[in-house]
Structure 1
């Protein structure tokens, strides 16, 4: 029973870390897009 609980905890922890990483990457990509738009506006 303890092994099953430990495995479930590790799986949920891994999924949580994966979701956090996906959010960080999405925010980073969006920030890069915003920076490119600002640079284009400054050039024109």
Structure 2
């Protein structure tokens, strides 16, 4: 019983970490895009 509970907690923690990493990567991608737009607007 404890093994099942421990496994469930490990799986849910792994999924949580995965979601957080995806959010961080998405925010970084958006920031890179905004910086690229800002540099292009300064060059004009």
Class of the TM-score when normalised by the shorter of the 2 chains: over 0.9
- For 1:1-44, what per-residue CA distance to the aligned partner results, in whole angstroms no more than 9, with x for missing partners? 00000000000000000000000000000000000000000000
Q: Which runs of 4+ in 1 moved over 6 A?
A: none
Match of 2:32 in 1: 32
Q: TM-score, normalised by structure 1?
A: 0.99
- C-alpha distance in structure 2 between counterparts of 1:7 and 1:25, whole Å: 27
Count of paired positions: 44
Name stretches of at least 5 consecutive residues in structure 1 with no aligned partner: none
What is the alpha-carbon root mean square deviation over aligned residues? 0.2
